[in-house]
Chain A
Amino acid sequence: MLFNSFDYLLFLPIVFITYWLLHKKHAWQNILLLVASYVFYAWWDWRFLSLIIYSSLVDYLIGKKIHKENLPQSKKRLLLLSLFSNLGLLAVFKYYNFFASSFSQLMLSVGWEVDSLTLNIILPVGISFYTFQTLSYTIDIYSGNIKPTNNLVSFFTYVSFFPQLVAGPIERAKNLIPQIESKRTFSIDYFKEGLLQIFIGLFRKIVIADNLGIYVDSIYSDVTIHNSTSLLLATIFYAFQIYFDFAGYSDIAIGSAKLFGFQFGKNFNAPYFSRSLTEFWRKWHISLSSWLRDYLYISLGGNRNGKIKMYRNLMITMLLGGLWHGSSWNFVIWGGIHGVFLAMEKFVFSKLNMKNFNFLGILYTFVVVLISWVFFRALSFSDSIFIMKKFVKFDFMAPFIGNINILAITFLMLLLGIGFDLLIKYFNVSLEKLGSKVSILTLSIFISVLILLTSLFYSTSENFIYFQF
């Protein structure tokens, strides 16, 4: 089920009302959330529910076993079993075809033609997200950070809770399971905050991101016929499209969870105002970047074993982070670019004893991120190279306009979106808390204006970009 669909518009109030009618029966509330979450997922394809159930069951059992086990060797074996089981699912459903075709191409390049090894595999929506979520649970138990839950429903709800099931935020067991297991009381502040964030998220997605997407798609579908200006404009638009798309998704997820009394962590914090790439990664897709830091970078040794190994660990983390986004070498390159610049920043900051660049750092960060988005968005490696050559060639002429009305609306809405982010940043207001800071009347007016703007400027709904990951 998509957040920006009529189905969700009906689904959410039904679950919300039923949920709070059961406010005296906490266990039933959790069962309702679990059933609702499975319905939410099955709306896309019920067959793949089996993967979620399998993944949940395996980690529920392994988590308990790890905790009971006293021998470090046995604990390690169990953790490896969890890793193998979860990453095995990812390997089959997400990466098999990628590695099979890469292998065929490699063989072909040395003159040995092999038959096509690829299979017709559907990528289950959200697999990368719930796999990371269940993995973190067993790793945390192994590290002694949390104790396993004895409640099967709680754990299954943790893995499949519908606001974050298909595209995050990736919630840690430490944060979410205690909330699931404790009694929730209805809070008007949470309700106001959640409602406002849902409407802001919808606006960011279907008004800003989807309008930007029209121009981006028209240019990136055939980059060879466009000039440098159009390609640059489309890439800048894409930078904002992916931001408003995913930040919008996160807003709806965080807002929806709040309606049920749950608090998720912040997932975006005005990342394009970062003064270094290091800062950017503290503000972009925070739940993923902190996951990669805690479970990959630090597990590899982090910065504990000398500088060379620190750079190596950083590169491995970013390359795998890139690959996590999709089974294509372009995503690996995207991660590689970030890895190289993060390593360079670490080197420069340590030499000059500084923590960040000055305000020019915002421009530097945006340029680096922009270049990396070319690889992220382009349909192929050759397209990416073509675009990069065009940027360097600098043959800037009048850009492709397309539909002038849509382009004008796109600019207008983008300015509105950036302006709103600037205001939030300037007044140091938390978007997550905004709804409770204003009166009921002010909130109603604000939401009404959002509804009006959405009615007038929404674009045809598309899937959220992060669904494909």
Chain B
Amino acid sequence: MHVFKKIFMLLLFIVIISYTIDKIVYFAISKMEEKVFTGQNVGKFNHFLEVKDSIDLVFIGSSRANHHFNPKMFSKHSFNMGLDGRNIAYFWTVIKMLPIDKKQDVVINIDPNNIFDSEYTGEDITALGYKYHKSEKIKEELERRNKINPLIKYYWCIGYNSKILGVIINYLRPKYNYKKYNGFDPIIVSETQKAIRDELFTKNTALDCEKEKQIKPNEIAISYLKLIAEYSKLNNKNLFVITTPIRNDKCKSDNKKLKEIMNSLSLNYYDFTDFFNQNRDPNLWKDNTHLSNLGADEFSEFLSGEVGE
């Protein structure tokens, strides 16, 4: 066989076989994934998609939202969509998935570091890569800032990168009964965590507040905030932006600046950073930025009254 014919055959075979294998595996995983409603990586978002049309209140944010808002104290038809490591690009995409014609309350936990992190580029959205070929809305967001591996157009399995084990495990053995789960994961502080926390609290953690004065809002974060504000106004969403409690936060200029930004966008913003300033009980905390189950319940109880009003 002529040498160039051989090269052509080899490359053609690679293209065809790799494409075929990719699709077979993709559809197999995809079938399983659609039935996965447990686990933080994939299941929780699927669960949210299942309940999004029936809920009247949703909490959105990172792990701080996940551990701080107890939906049970607000409404029977509410869901906590807080997830560890997520940021404002992800928050926006979650809001975008809500039904446009249903009146719903949306509470987002936004901290100053969500807005003033100069290095933030919207990479948290890649966590939804596995929905690239399933949802046009998500595809649009993944492509908004070129946050998706371009090869995903040909090799669909890239969307399930690093998720496949979680999908298989949760498919074969769901971790909990998702019908009884409202997305809230209270932190019950273990003895080991208590020891680490107490040592942390005894340390004098001096913050560099001088640096903070030069903070600049991240343009990408601001653009997402604008999208959230505009979309909520146009689609029957009653939006509340909240900074949940942080322990011993000495630097205030970022909070002040965040409030100015929220006001300029006409958003309902509530800063509860110092909510527990008067109460020094360490049992309310897991660490400086995460409340324990006790702290979360106390905060949620207070907030349910506020939101109710």
Task: List A residues at the B interface (Cβ < 8 Å).
Answer: 6, 186, 188, 191-192, 195, 405-406, 408-409, 412, 440-441, 443-445, 447-449, 451-452, 455-459
| Set A405, A441, A452, A457: member contacting B13, Cβ < 8 A | A441
* Chain A: minimal CB distance from B73 (Å): 30
What are 25 of the A-B contact pairs (CB < 8 Å)?
A186-B3, A188-B6, A191-B7, A195-B10, A405-B162, A405-B166, A408-B165, A409-B165, A412-B165, A440-B6, A440-B10, A445-B17, A447-B18, A448-B21, A451-B18, A451-B22, A452-B18, A452-B157, A455-B151, A455-B155, A455-B161, A456-B158, A456-B162, A456-B164, A458-B161
| Set B6, B25, B41: member contacting A405, Cβ < 8 A | B41
Q: A186-B3, A440-B6 are in contact. Are A452 and B162 (CB under 8 A)?
A: no
* Chain A: minimal CB distance from B177 (Å): 21
Using C-beta atoms within 8 Å of the partner chain, give the interface range for chain B. 20 to 34
Interface residues of B in 12-56 (CB under 8 A from A): 13-14, 17-18, 21-22, 25, 41
B163 at interface, CB cutoff 8 A:
yes
- Docked complex Cα distance between A449 and B6 (Å): 20
Q: Are A449 and B21 in contact (CB under 8 A)?
A: yes
| Set B3, B18, B164, B165: member contacting A448, Cβ < 8 A | B18
A225 closest partner in B (C-beta): B196
- Docked complex Cα distance between A455 and B161 (Å): 6
B165: A residues at CB distance < 8 A: 405, 408-409, 412
- Docked complex Cα distance between A463 and B256 (Å): 39
B150 at interface, CB cutoff 8 A:
yes
* Chain B: minimal CB distance from A22 (Å): 15
List the 7 shortest-distance A-B pairs measured between CB atoms, nearest first. Answer: A444-B13, A448-B18, A448-B17, A455-B157, A451-B18, A455-B158, A444-B14
Q: Are A405 and B163 in contact (CB under 8 A)?
A: yes
B160 at interface, CB cutoff 8 A:
yes
- Docked complex Cα distance between A455 and B9 (Å): 23
- Docked complex Cα distance between A281 and B150 (Å): 41
Task: List B residues at the A interface (Cβ < 8 Å).
Answer: 3, 6-7, 9-10, 13-14, 17-18, 21-22, 25, 41, 150-151, 155, 157-158, 160-166
Q: Are A451 and B155 in contact (CB under 8 A)?
A: yes
- Docked complex Cα distance between A252 and B278 (Å): 61
13 more A-B residue pairs beyond the given contacts A188-B7, A408-B165, with a C-beta to C-beta distance below 8 A: A188-B3, A191-B7, A191-B10, A405-B41, A405-B163, A405-B166, A440-B13, A443-B10, A447-B14, A448-B21, A456-B164, A457-B164, A458-B161
* Chain A: minimal CB distance from B140 (Å): 22
Q: Are B162 and A406 in contact (CB under 8 A)?
A: yes
Q: A405-B162, A444-B17, A451-B18 are in contact. Are A6 and B7 (CB under 8 A)?
A: no
B13: A residues at CB distance < 8 A: 440-441, 444
A459: B residues at CB distance < 8 A: 162
A408: B residues at CB distance < 8 A: 165
- Docked complex Cα distance between A447 and B21 (Å): 11
A6: B residues at CB distance < 8 A: 150
- Docked complex Cα distance between A188 and B164 (Å): 36
A199 closest partner in B (C-beta): B14
Q: Are B161 and A457 in contact (CB under 8 A)?
A: yes
- Docked complex Cα distance between A448 and B22 (Å): 9
Q: Are A409 and B162 in contact (CB under 8 A)?
A: yes
B18 closest partner in A (C-beta): A448
B10: A residues at CB distance < 8 A: 191-192, 195, 440, 443-444
A455: B residues at CB distance < 8 A: 22, 151, 155, 157-158, 161
A448: B residues at CB distance < 8 A: 14, 17-18, 21
A453 closest partner in B (C-beta): B157
B157: A residues at CB distance < 8 A: 452, 455-456
A406: B residues at CB distance < 8 A: 162
Q: Which of A440, A443, A448, A456: most chain B CB closer than 10 A?
A: A456
A186: B residues at CB distance < 8 A: 3
A191: B residues at CB distance < 8 A: 7, 10
* Chain B: minimal CB distance from A199 (Å): 9
Q: Which of B18, B41, B164, B166: most chain A CB closer than 10 A?
A: B18
- Docked complex Cα distance between A412 and B169 (Å): 15
Q: A405-B163, A447-B14 are in contact. Are A452 and B6 (CB under 8 A)?
A: no
B25: A residues at CB distance < 8 A: 452, 456
B6: A residues at CB distance < 8 A: 188, 440
- Docked complex Cα distance between A239 and B7 (Å): 37
A450 closest partner in B (C-beta): B18
A458 closest partner in B (C-beta): B161
A452: B residues at CB distance < 8 A: 18, 21-22, 25, 155, 157
A195 closest partner in B (C-beta): B10
* Chain A: minimal CB distance from B255 (Å): 29
* Chain B: minimal CB distance from A196 (Å): 10
- Docked complex Cα distance between A409 and B165 (Å): 7
B161: A residues at CB distance < 8 A: 455-458
